[in-house]
Amino acid sequence: MQHLVTPQEVVHLGRPIGTVDHDRLLAYISETEQLNIKPVIGTPLFLKLLDDNEDRDPRLDTLLKGGTYEDERNGVMSFVGLKVTIAYFVYAQNVMSGDFQSTRYGMVLKDGDYSSHISSKERSDCYNNTLEVANAYLRECLAYCKSTGLISKTGKPTAFTGGIRIQKIG
């Protein structure tokens, strides 16, 4: 399956992610592209981004890598691009499930000799914080798409996928 970003790019573009299995990163990338990116930018634009031909619209490369553009209402704008956005969504996925392993004995928590794990609240806080950043970056990408005509400025509003906030009651 073709992706907008490679596992190596995810490791270097977002928050430091440490050593994560290549197959896990690919799974997180697939989930992010299908559940967070494609529903927001639309399938036609998503497929155009995957098509890597030589006469490709340069706006697509800017969307992927980020950059600056002239917005008719706000002047010069800048954004980080979809690759960094995806890296943040992948990081969030890794925070929530990064140290759980599916084995023939069921789901287990891998624990090294000298490691200690964060609490559920700390994990949830980190996940929610990372999702806020990822969604903010995604909104900037969407603003670029609308400003440059990659997607229509009109149409139904897009619902962003977000995290679950877990709070202790009582």
The answer to whether 89 and 70 have CB atoms below 8 angstroms apart is no
Please compute the mean of the pLDDT values over residues 127-145 and round it to a whole number: 94
At 157, the pLDDT band (50, 70, 90 cuts) reads very low
Task: Tell me the C-alpha distance between 153 and 170, whole Å.
Answer: 45
Helix spans in 36-168 (H): 38-41, 43-50, 58-65, 82-97, 120-148
Against a cut of 0.75, is the pTM above it? yes
Per-residue pLDDT tens digits for 94-135 = 888 766 555 665 555 666 665 566 677 887 888 889 999 999
Per-residue pLDDT tens digits for 39-52 = 999 999 999 999 98
Bridge-partner residues for 71, per DSSP? 75
pLDDT of residue 98: 65
Rg (CA), the chain: 18
pLDDT for 76 beyond 90:
yes
Angstrom CA distances, 166 to 89, 122, 125, 131, stand at 18, 10, 8, 14
